Amino acid sequence: MMIEKSGSIELRDISLAEEVLPELRDVAAGMVRVKHLYRSALKVAVTQMEILDEEFAGLYDHSPIHHIEHRIKSLDSIVKKLRRRGYAVTIDNIYAHIQDMAGVRVICNYLDDIYYLRGLLTRTESFRVLREADYIKEPKATGYRSLHLIVEVPIVISEGTLKLPVEIQLRTIAMDMWASLEHELRYKSDRHWGEAESTRLRLCSDAIYEVDREMQNIYQGKGPEYED
């Protein structure tokens, strides 16, 4: 199943950008082309993962992917990120400095599925890993866990072959649940947020990780005493 998130640029957004931010008129117009190219890269990356998922399911009667989500970064988010890093807001700087313009989130059933998919996706020269951060083995201080990849994806266009970066996040269903609720609690609620609440969230993350390990052991027929 594929779920497309909001954040894409349409022609109607150009007039809005001119009205609110006149200096971004040319960037907003150029984003129509940028959006098309990165959407094409998304399709290539997602299609390849769906092919791998279907092949694995046919061979082993197990589908490693629960579902896939994807999105194109919004113009507002792009502008904030470039300015925060000290870059002028131009189309050239979008290509040069925004590596998560196209984002894919792959929700897996088990921990091993994450690393299996990572290995399959990057075993050929077609998908070159530009950057990798394993927040599963080394979670962030907040408790966030996920495997992040920036992968160079080739697309064929009228001018030839173009390679664009796509951010791929791989996580389990449980990790995705924690990340969604953590974001909701921390950034979308009016409640006071202190160290006590942060500690409780980290403890929840640790508990969820242990549940992930135990669910995988049960699936693989291993006893509760098994340590990987």
Q: Catalytic site residues?
A: 167
Say if residues 212 and 111 touch (Cβ distance below 8 Å): yes
CB atoms within 10 A of CB 125: 8
CB atoms within 10 A of CB 124: 9
**DSSP conformational letter for 129:** E
Alpha-carbon span 146 to 176, nearest angstrom: 8
Question: In this structure, which long-range contacts are made by residues 79-88, counting pairs with CB atoms below 8 Å and at least 24 apart in sequence?
Answer: 79/21, 79/24, 79/27
Query: What is the C-alpha R_g of the chain?
Result: 20
For residue 138, how many C-alpha atoms fall within 13 Å in the half-sphere facing its CB? 4
Alpha-carbon span 48 to 185, nearest angstrom: 34
